Structure 1
């Protein structure tokens, strides 16, 4: 079977969102906890430190890189009075709504050689983003240079990654259910009914529910709830919207039900999440 047309579809769906980049120095020897709704790509240039993710711990030496997927809880323990990190927060998606890391597994800690490439690209991207263009043409040129370096970062990520079992078939499912995901994204602020989603696929409710769960291992409503949580985390991390405004954007008329939903899904209130959120 010729997969070239599908690979072209995957390529065309690939998209980057740049959030922020900087160099940060931590000068107090302590632990720092993080859980961010975007990907962290970083090089540690002064350290060392201990990285804790789940039940695993990794010692990170100066020069090594970090690749932390979105929605990954991790803790950094400083081993010396300071460490310095060159970092970028980015989003890499396929088919508009899905994180690249849904399909690949990447080591959290890279070699020093890869870390050096990450550090170089981060420095170049940050410099480009902090330079005011002279006119529209130089603005377009700068955007192209940033995009080029983001793709170089993607090449680095993929060079040390492996595809999860079934990733290719998962991508085909995403393409097939694209109208459903587009509808969900556009209507998260509303009450979404499974009937509406089934109609988009020209299926009965029972048949749609069965096929969706078979493809994604969760029911349509469970998936919608997970997307609402992720949207709330993203808005908490990137905007100054009030809790009421965020609640409205993910389908809640009042603040309290939203807070209760967030806490039931995440284990902490949205206020505590926002207060604890710190970007490397």
Structure 2
């Protein structure tokens, strides 16, 4: 696959993000998501631990936590953190753009021009999210949103050591149909056997195949996506929690509440507040 084809098929999908002043209670332990996480503090600092290593994230640093990486996060002693954050996937015909990012990556934006540029892209990104929540989105700001999203990812790749075509697994046979099927049927029961049939594989072989490419077993991946989508609904809509549970495949609010609290440390109601 040539570069132009890879990029033309690239879909970067946002599952959550905002400009946030974090409360002192902001923390999580042994978190592992089916999505990439991007933090970009403007003020304050945070502490992130993964793979036995602790990172001290400071203002004007962007941090990527790749999907499937188990990590913990918390405030530092100063108890102050204002950041842009983003949860997203980046796939081209089922190939993950960040496939070779296995550990936390941090980029510095100390140069004033570079810092202003990326902040401008983040502002554009979340102006669109605000417009969507207010039912005021337009084609124009939707296009600006996509341009800002691609620009942020492009800047990070330009600064990384993974900016070469040969490092991308474009020869992979992993089809986009698996990811699309999961996302399109997230509100329904999804069995491993169904997913395996899409690739004409035995379920046991499919689980190994899926874990190799996605960093986690299929059922855990599905659960992570359901939790992220429910979190997005809680933060951006006024839908009842019971309806959100149905839309995200949890079936009922008690099931959603149990898994939500286990993962995020707070209840769905608290997340909405």
Structure 2: gaps of 5 or more residues: 132-137
* TM-score normalized by the length of structure 1: 0.64
Matched residue, 1:12 = 9
When you count helix as a share of all residues, which structure comes out higher?
A: 1
1:274 aligns with 2:267: no
Matched residue, 2:134 = none
CA distance in 2, matches of 1:39, 1:217: 15
RMSD over aligned Cα atoms: 4.4
Q: Is the 8 A contact 2:124 2:144 kept in 1?
A: no
* Structure ID, larger Rg: 1
CA distance in 2, matches of 1:253, 1:128: 31
Matched residue, 2:231 = 233
Matched residue, 2:46 = 51
* TM-score normalized by the length of structure 2: 0.66
Q: Is the 8 A contact 1:247 1:254 kept in 2?
A: yes
* Residues paired across the two proteins, number: 251
Change (3 A) 1:207 1:68: closer
Cα displacement string for residues 229-273 of structure 1 (whole angstroms, at most 9, x for unaligned residues):
333333333333322112212323322223233344x16343366
Matched residue, 2:118 = 118
Matched residue, 1:134 = none
CA distance in 2, matches of 1:127, 1:254: 33
- Select which of 203, 206, 214 maps to 1:205: 203
Matched residue, 1:185 = 183
Q: Is the 8 A contact 2:260 2:268 kept in 1?
A: no
CA distance in 1, matches of 2:151, 2:46: 25
SS at match of 1:117: helix
Matched residue, 1:157 = 156
TM-superposed deviation, 1:186? 1.7
SS at match of 2:244: helix
Matched residue, 1:136 = none
Change (3 A) 1:101 1:31: farther
